Amino acid sequence: MVKMRRLGKTDIELTPIGLGCMQFAGTANITRLIIRPIDQEPATAVVRAALDGGVNWFDTAEMYGGGRSEEVLATALKACGVRPGQVSVATKWTPTGRTAASITRTIGDRLRHLGGFPVDLHQIHMPTGSLSSIPAQLKAMAGLLKAGRIRSVGVSNFAARQLELAHRVLASEGVTLAANQVHISLLHRNVERDGVLETARRLGVTLIAYSPLEGGLLTGRFHDDPALARTAPVMRRFFGRKELSAAGLARTRPLIDELRAIGQAYGVSVSQVALNWLITRYGDTVVAIPGASKPGQAAAAAGAMGLRLTDAEVGKLDALSLR
């Protein structure tokens, strides 16, 4: 039985691992340059595998195809026999070039695209780009919650100082800040140094870890076959050119070798050990949203919740990941 984690100070309970749904955005969206998009049928198979593995929540965004990811997710959930309220759905408002008023105006679009599934967590996708201040955006979010149109308020990519501000503004509205979605993985541990982890713990805010497998790097597949790096989506190759280079792969190989050794001892994969490290290392503060383009990947991610790493194993991975 998977032990649930509370979303911030809300009454929403999540499995330690959810499913990231950027890959449902479609081929006409810029996200195709970051992650390979999949159509409805494979998306439904991925969602079914996640559900079968015990996953009870899904993270999408307006930016992922202008609502297409939300629609594909909702269609998949319905095809799997899931009714609104049986799982939790998180989505995000895109601030770029818009005022806070659009948060209120576009909530109807979010709900329409989700086809009857409620918005359990609505997040400001990034702290920059809006024509309105962060406090104005947060007050608009608080208004949606008070009106019963969303269940909780979150942010994404907020620094520690911005997290403090968000918490303070929402508190003045009688609302708690539920989550901050940030990049965390074995190879990206900035939250331990930039104050985000400490601030989240102090304020009772959940951190939602995106890119927990570093675009596949922490599966070991690029180490097994470096030529695969040339087939990765263009933005993945561009932003990951150092880590996907021969020197980069050599630097992280000891970590991958240790992940593989631990995985073999438990009969699990490299990626499952990497994901379990993440949800073990930071305790209940962190939940993760790996993506999946194949049912087997979703099943493996869900299966990572059943692993129990020892303190010694976590410590060894800690040390190797910081080299």
Domains of the chain: 5-216+279-310 (3.20.20.100)
**Mean pLDDT throughout 261-287?**
97
Label residue 79 by pLDDT band (50, 70, 90).
very high
- Three-state secondary structure call for residue 157: coil
- CA 302 to CA 291: how far, in whole Å? 11
**Percentage of residues of the chain with pLDDT beyond 90:** 84
Instruction: Pick the catalytic residue from 64, 210, 266, 282.
Output: 64
257-271 tens-digit pLDDT: 999 999 999 999 999
- Per-residue confidence (pLDDT) for residue 317, from 0 to 100: 96
105-163 tens-digit pLDDT: 999 999 999 999 999 999 999 999 999 999 999 999 999 999 999 999 999 999 999 99
91-100 tens-digit pLDDT: 999 999 999 9
Element (H, E) at 12: none
Q: How long, in residues, is the chain?
A: 323
- Three-state secondary structure call for residue 293: coil
Q: What is the Rg, in whole angstroms, of the alpha carbon atoms belonging to the chain? A: 19
Label residue 242 by pLDDT band (50, 70, 90).
confident
- CA 151 to CA 120: how far, in whole Å? 5
**Mean pLDDT throughout 180-190?**
97
- CA 158 to CA 141: how far, in whole Å? 16
- CA 45 to CA 200: how far, in whole Å? 34
Amino acid at 201: R
pLDDT higher than threshold 90 for residue 34? no
- Per-residue confidence (pLDDT) for residue 7, from 0 to 100: 98
Label residue 31 by pLDDT band (50, 70, 90).
low
pLDDT higher than threshold 50 for residue 323? yes
Amino acid at 204: G
290-311 tens-digit pLDDT: 999 999 999 999 999 999 999 9
Report the C-alpha dihedral over residues 185, 189, 194, 199, rounded to 10 degrees: 60
- Per-residue confidence (pLDDT) for residue 30, from 0 to 100: 58
Residues 60-83 as b/e (b if ≥16 CB within 10 A, e otherwise) read bbbbbbbbbbbbbbbbbbbebebe
Label residue 238 by pLDDT band (50, 70, 90).
very low
The yes-or-no answer on residue 266 being catalytic is no
pLDDT higher than threshold 60 for residue 239? no
pLDDT higher than threshold 80 for residue 1? no
| Average per-residue pLDDT for the chain | 93
pTM of the predicted protein model = 0.94
